[in-house]
Chains A and B, each alone.
Chain A
Amino acid sequence: MSIVVCLKWVSHPGEPHDSRFSGMSHADQSALEFALQQAESTGATVTAITVGPPGAEKVLRDALACGAHHAVRIEGPTTTSGTDVATAIADHITDARWVWCGDYSLDRGAGSVPAFIAAHLNAQQALGIIHASIEGDAVHATRRLDGGRRELLEVTAPAVVSVEGATARLRRATLAAVRAAASATIPVVSATTPMHRAEFMVRPYRPRARVLPAPEGATALERLRVLTDAAAASAARGDTVRLEPADAAARIVRALREWGYLAH
């Protein structure tokens, strides 16, 4: 059984062009920690993989220092579309039983790569996990849903799990491991399909402005509650429907438009 952890070399959002502030996101660190824990409990090996230029090897060396058994860098530009990254990774890990990812990267933040990898590998997916425990051959995971709700999942291999940054604290590498990892040879492979450089602006996440109706309430406190109580607000507009996937997707997009999350 093999375990793969996907790591992205990202810059700090405030210093996008300065490699001094680059490295693994907290989410990726959590993913690495879970991968290492799973390897310890199952006897499997962990392969750390990244897509990027030579500078991206920094995160692989960090992973090796922490205990990953292998590391692979897929040559690629710094900015690539999520689908290209997922394809490149999935093509190289066809025999992976478990794939751990951070839930989304610091610089782009779409969180789409784990889902695309799962689709390529035809594996189960448990994305945006806020709590995970490794129990035998399965992973018990808690997933964040809107409105403060939670989804409890029992995931079995083959599966892709993406975790949030606060789910685990990455272990500290020993001094000898850090020294050894610094001079380790990192295999570099080419992507099986051509990768396209994605052109986009790196900037802090700024959600779209949306119009909120004036809150109802006799007192300021009541109005504040109406405005800020997420659970009550989403419960009020929650809607459970049973639809075919295509119709369900269209319904979700329509709801997001109506609620002001998407531009019309």
Chain B
Amino acid sequence: MTAPDVDVVVVGGGPAGACAAMVAARAGLDVVLLERGPFPGSKNMYGGVVYPRILDTLIPEWWLEAPVQRWVTRRSTMLLTETQAVTIDFRTEAWGAPPYNGATAYRPDWDHWLAGHAQAAGAQLITDTTVIGLIRDEHGAVVGVRTDRPDGDLRARVVIACDGVNSFLAKEAGLYEHTDAKHYTLGVKETLALPKETIDERFAVRDRHGVDIEIIGATGSVNGGGFLYTNLDTIAVGVVLKLPKLAAQAQRPEAIIAKMKQHPAIAPLVQGGELKEYSAHLIPEAGLTMMPKMVMDGMLVAGDAAALCLAAGIWLEGVNFAMASGMYAGEAAAEAVRGGDVTANGLQGYQRRLSDTFVLKDHRKLHRAPELVLSDRVQHLYPGMVANVVERMFRVDNPEPKPGLRRIVTQERQRAGVRRRDLLRDGWTGFRSFG
């Protein structure tokens, strides 16, 4: 058998790959990090906020050096109908000071920065190199990767696949039992340039403080959600769309964003923004339902490649799951290499770490949430019902006396065509998921 060239090959220089390479290299392993773009993050995009708490263990006081655009100190959840908006708005100064909570950041900056830490730890970063397949031994164990370079085989004791959503490596290895378009959403985003002062005024923030708005009811007949968040001198506005619905409705995603931008509650926020970038990316949104096997002989799968993306309505997280799973994969790989057993059994430390931490615990707890949030009732009936209830609560119909809230809710529920038992069932599901 050919001797391995290195201890660990990490495929993909995103947050998962960078953390995996960083941890494995710090453990003294010979690590190569392969990235297909010209630099880590060059082709990456996401639609939200990064929550880097997990970095506390990897990069102490990471906030002093991380390429952050704004610290999110305002979080809003917005329900929209054609003409109405109900917003729950929360702000805290605590999230604008160490140790911080969430931040907006450009992925080409963020991923580049993280990969720099992997390099500083001793991992060798090789860019412009695409992995096109796995090298396996006669027993089917992964023993390396094949790249698109001449003589491009690289043999390793452990391969960590962090090659993102649609992971070709996890699929080639047969770790995904089945894939279904209904497990994915398409995220599309416009980045609009506005002067910092304008953003500060429109969103009522100062300095490096920023806003993250999650929106339900803005995607028309296609189930999904909208988002709007502030960078330093740009804002990102976009939608996340359920794939089968998008295909069935034959609607263009950019048309859905354009419509959302015209909503009376959104238009004043984005007005005058100069389009700097339009980007799109698939998101693995189905959580536990779609997750592949993450451990096999000689290989681990982390990040989006392992569908570790939490899309649970009020929690929309991915980069933190990627960083954490990458970190645990790096630890498990180091453990396995040191122990001389890189079979699935030797690499089980990865699965154990995922199960014992938020990575899988959050997914288990919230496993019903993605389906609930993207269900037809939540998407198409509840926003209008809630908005009408609120409108009637605050409408002054003198000389009529104020109606009771219970009567309004009943009337609006009936008007929206929501059956009581469905409402109760969804409420119960929500309570069990989020409670």
Near B by CB (< 8 A), chain A positions 147-192 give: 172-176, 178-179, 182
| B150 on the A face (CB < 8 A) | yes
Task: Given A20-B38, A20-B112, check contact A174 B152 (CB 8 Å).
Answer: yes
How many Å from the CB of A66 to the closest CB on chain B? Answer: 11
Bound Cα distance A182, B124 (Å): 8
Q: Are A175's CB and B42's CB within 8 A?
A: no
Task: Given A20-B108, A20-B112, check contact A175 B152 (CB 8 Å).
Answer: yes
| B16 on the A face (CB < 8 A) | no
Q: Are A20's CB and B126's CB within 8 A?
A: no
| B400 on the A face (CB < 8 A) | no
Complex interface: chain B residues within 8 A of A174 (CB) = 149-152
How many Å from the CB of A7 to the closest CB on chain B? Answer: 17
How many Å from the CB of B107 to the closest CB on chain A? Answer: 12
> Interface 1/0s, chain A 21-36, versus B by CB < 8 A?
1010000000000000
Bound Cα distance A123, B32 (Å): 44
Bound Cα distance A156, B153 (Å): 41
Task: Given A20-B38, A20-B42, check contact A175 B151 (CB 8 Å).
Answer: yes
| B147 on the A face (CB < 8 A) | yes
How many Å from the CB of B379 to the closest CB on chain A? Answer: 40
Q: Are B126's CB and A175's CB within 8 A?
A: yes
Bound Cα distance A172, B129 (Å): 10
Bound Cα distance A182, B32 (Å): 12
Complex interface: chain A residues within 8 A of B32 (CB) = 179
How many Å from the CB of A253 to the closest CB on chain B? Answer: 42
Bound Cα distance A30, B124 (Å): 27
Q: Are B124's CB and A175's CB within 8 A?
A: no
* Minimal Cβ-Cβ distance residue in A for B112: A20
Complex interface: chain B residues within 8 A of A178 (CB) = 126, 129, 149
Q: Are B124's CB and A179's CB within 8 A?
A: yes
Complex interface: chain A residues within 8 A of B151 (CB) = 174-176
How many Å from the CB of B45 to the closest CB on chain A? Answer: 16
How many Å from the CB of A173 to the closest CB on chain B? Answer: 7
Bound Cα distance A183, B285 (Å): 41
Bound Cα distance A197, B312 (Å): 56
Most chain B CB neighbours (cut-off 10 Å) among A20, A172, A175, A176: A175
How many Å from the CB of A177 to the closest CB on chain B? Answer: 8
Q: How large is the interface on B (under 10, 10 to 19, 20 to 34, 35 or more residues)?
A: 10 to 19
Near B by CB (< 8 A), chain A positions 1-53 give: 20-21, 23
| B46 on the A face (CB < 8 A) | no
Q: Are A20's CB and B129's CB within 8 A?
A: no
Q: How large is the interface on A (under 10, 10 to 19, 20 to 34, 35 or more residues)?
A: 10 to 19
Complex interface: chain A residues within 8 A of B38 (CB) = 20-21, 23
| B95 on the A face (CB < 8 A) | no
A175's contact among B108, B112, B153, by CB below 8 Å, is which? B153
How many Å from the CB of A97 to the closest CB on chain B? Answer: 29
> Interface 1/0s, chain B 106-128, versus A by CB < 8 A?
00100010000000000010100
Complex interface: chain B residues within 8 A of A176 (CB) = 151
Complex interface: chain B residues within 8 A of A182 (CB) = 124, 126
How many Å from the CB of B368 to the closest CB on chain A? Answer: 42
| B154 on the A face (CB < 8 A) | yes
Near A by CB (< 8 A), chain B positions 12-65 give: 32, 38-39, 42
Q: Are A175's CB and B154's CB within 8 A?
A: yes
> Interface 1/0s, chain B 126-158, versus A by CB < 8 A?
100100000000000000000101111110000
Near A by CB (< 8 A), chain B positions 350-383 give: none
How many Å from the CB of A36 to the closest CB on chain B? Answer: 14
How many Å from the CB of B205 to the closest CB on chain A? Answer: 27
* Minimal Cβ-Cβ distance residue in B for A20: B39
Q: Are A173's CB and B149's CB within 8 A?
A: yes
Task: Given A20-B38, A20-B112, A179-B32, check contact A172 B149 (CB 8 Å).
Answer: yes
Q: Are A179's CB and B126's CB within 8 A?
A: yes
Q: Are A175's CB and B39's CB within 8 A?
A: no
How many Å from the CB of B304 to the closest CB on chain A? Answer: 22
Complex interface: chain B residues within 8 A of A173 (CB) = 149-150
* Minimal Cβ-Cβ distance residue in A for B109: A20
Bound Cα distance A20, B152 (Å): 24
* Minimal Cβ-Cβ distance residue in A for B42: A20
Bound Cα distance A124, B39 (Å): 39
Bound Cα distance A178, B147 (Å): 12
Bound Cα distance A82, B185 (Å): 53
Near A by CB (< 8 A), chain B positions 153-167 give: 153-154
Bound Cα distance A173, B151 (Å): 9
> Interface 1/0s, chain B 275-290, versus A by CB < 8 A?
0000000000000000
How many Å from the CB of A178 to the closest CB on chain B? Answer: 6
* Minimal Cβ-Cβ distance residue in A for B147: A175
Near A by CB (< 8 A), chain B positions 370-414 give: none
How many Å from the CB of B38 to the closest CB on chain A? Answer: 7
Bound Cα distance A173, B126 (Å): 11
Bound Cα distance A20, B107 (Å): 13
How many Å from the CB of B375 to the closest CB on chain A? Answer: 42
* Minimal Cβ-Cβ distance residue in A for B127: A178
Bound Cα distance A175, B154 (Å): 8
Bound Cα distance A173, B153 (Å): 13
Complex interface: chain A residues within 8 A of B153 (CB) = 175
How many Å from the CB of A216 to the closest CB on chain B? Answer: 41
Complex interface: chain B residues within 8 A of A172 (CB) = 149-150
Bound Cα distance A179, B34 (Å): 11
How many Å from the CB of B105 to the closest CB on chain A? Answer: 15
25 residue pairs from A and B, CB less than 8 Å apart: A20-B38, A20-B39, A20-B42, A172-B149, A172-B150, A173-B150, A174-B150, A174-B151, A175-B126, A175-B129, A175-B147, A175-B150, A175-B151, A175-B152, A175-B153, A175-B154, A176-B151, A178-B126, A178-B129, A178-B149, A179-B32, A179-B124, A179-B126, A182-B124, A182-B126
Which 8 residue pairs across A and B have the least CB separation, nearest first? A174-B151, A175-B149, A20-B39, A174-B150, A175-B152, A178-B126, A175-B147, A174-B149
Since A174-B150, A179-B32, A179-B126 are in contact, a sample of 12 more A-B pairs with Cβ atoms closer than 8 Å, ordered by chain A residue number, is A21-B38, A23-B38, A172-B150, A173-B149, A173-B150, A174-B152, A175-B129, A175-B147, A175-B150, A178-B126, A178-B149, A182-B126
